[in-house]
Amino acid sequence: MERLFRFIFEYRAFFTFLFLEILCAWMIIENNQYQSTTYFNSSNKVAASILNFSQGVSEYVSLRTINRELSAENALLRTELERKAATPPITAGESIDSSAVSRYEYVSAKVVSNSTEFYKNYITIDKGRLDGIMPGMAAIGTEGAVGKVKSVSDHFAVLISLLNTSDMVSSMITRTGHFGTAQWDGRNPRLINLRYIPRHALPVVGDTVVTSGYNAVFPQGVRVGVIKRCTLSEEAIFWDIELELAEDFGKLSFLEIIKSNLKHEQDSIQNITIGNNR
Amino acid sequence: MRTGLLYFILFFVYVLVQVLLLKNIVLFNVAFCFLYIAFILLLPVEISAVMMMLIGFTIGFTIDIFYSSMGLHAFASVITAFLRNYWLKLITPQGGYDVGATPTLSEYGAGWFLVYFIPLVFIHLTVLFFIEASGFSMAGYTLLKIISSVMFTALIIFLLQSMIPKRR
């Protein structure tokens, strides 16, 4: 026993090294899991407050752009509202579709920290558990899809950005109706790849791609991007498609978290029928 | 004790500069400046390997909290801290190190300092970016990130070091 201790003591540097690296490796693996509940990330209160201060400074500089974007969105929503009001009310005998009634709720949040340069980018926002944010919820910006919630603390939350090589979003080409998966390749923060669009589909440059609503995270029809380049090589089964992202992640400052009221219902019925293998 | 307190304060200075300023500065989308590595590299020569690794782990872990990258910077920092003392031993300048010496430009000159810190920064960033990419599938682009970040980080460390006046 004494020999063992002496041995460990002799090589204490190496054993410390081994111990710390295994600890780090474990943390890295744990963090790569979608929906992990880590406390030590930027949703941590102290860290988030410091980042919030930093963001506040840079936000002040870009206030003009933010204002313009928000007012433009306001105008758009007002037009939409007018149009809704103009349509005749539902007549007697016609029942309201139960799935359409308050299926989604929106919570507005401010971006505290964001990056676009890594392979795995995360976004920190200033809304958390106490505002009803839960892991797995979707986030959309003024222009389109942004990401999904990974972990939450009381007042802050960390999102997996669409600009994260391990994030996949089920998407659809609106014109042809074909489904694929949007996934970032880690290079250009303005472009994202659309995979698994079958050979027989005929996408063209300029087609709009939206979320498909198959996975219950995003509602159907949230803009992902516009096709910028599509090629089909000789033997390929799928198209090689590149989208120009709708949302400019470099300028992201406000976003909305979508609470899906029927997510549990959709998930559980899917699990019952097709098993828990997603 | 006084130097201990100095390094304690320096720790927070490095972390704050990293997360408030340098986190927002990424040139051409590929060149990062991870100045906090300098904190590990510039610690006194006589610090033991075990202590080095614990300090390295602490600063890496703190940086990780702000970058939402659990364990990534800590992993790279522990490697850098582990290798630092061996590297220092290998490149001992003539006459050895003085008691309480720090491996800085002002004490051992620009030539020695470059030989000392560039390989360690390179190893640190190589480990960092390849783990971040989780594999070698993007090796070309990852290498571009590593080389440009080494140049950017090394340039900033070197400039900051050359601003410190000679002590003797």
Domain boundaries in chain B? 2-92+103-163
Distance from CA of B145 to the nearest CA of A (A): 10
Query: How many Å separate Cα A7 from the centre of its chain?
Result: 50
- Checking if the pLDDT of A229 tops 80, the result is yes
- Section A182-194 average pLDDT: 90
Mutate to test the interface with B, among A10, A15, A20, A62 (most CBs of B within 10 A): A20
Give the span between the Cα atoms of B62 and B60, in whole angstroms: 5
Angle ∠(A98,A104,A110) on CA atoms, nearest 5? 170
- What percentage of chain B has pLDDT greater than the value 70? 98
CB–CB contact A113 B68 (8 Å): yes
Least confident of A85-99, A180-194, B97-111: A85-99
Give the span between the Cα atoms of A274 and A276, in whole angstroms: 7
pLDDT band at A218 (very low <50, low <70, confident <90, very high): confident
Average pLDDT, chain B: 89
Find residue A256's DSSP bridge partners.
Answer: A108, A140
Least confident of A93-102, A137-146, A210-219, B108-117: A93-102
CB–CB contact A13 B48 (8 Å): yes
Residue-level pLDDT at A35: 58
Structural domain contains residue A105: no
* Distance (Å) of CA B104 to CA B15, B38, B150, B157: 20, 10, 18, 11
Least confident of A176-190, A263-277, B60-74: A263-277
Structural domain contains residue A89: no
Residue B30 structure tokens: 């590929």
Find residue A257's DSSP bridge partners.
Answer: A107, A139
CB atoms within 10 A of CB B7: 16
Least confident of A218-222, B56-60, B149-153: A218-222
Least confident of A139-153, A263-277, B109-123: A263-277
B144 touches chain A (CB under 8 A): no
In three-state secondary structure terms, B38 is: helix
- Checking if the pLDDT of B42 tops 80, the result is yes
Tens-place pLDDT, residues B106-137: 888 888 899 999 999 999 999 999 998 887 87
B155 touches chain A (CB under 8 A): no
Give chain A's domain count: 1
pLDDT band at A89 (very low <50, low <70, confident <90, very high): low
- For chain A positions 136-175, those within 8 Å of chain B (CB to CB) are 158, 165-166
- Section A178-196 average pLDDT: 90
Tens-place pLDDT, residues A59-73: 777 777 778 888 778
Question: Structural domain of residue A205, as residue ranges?
Answer: 168-247
Distance from CA of B52 to the nearest CA of A (A): 10
Instruction: Judge contact between A207 and A224, C-beta under 8 A.
Output: no
| CATH code at position A203 | 2.40.10.350
CB–CB contact A21 B26 (8 Å): no
Residues in chain B: 168
CB atoms within 10 A of CB A265: 12
CB–CB contact B20 A120 (8 Å): no
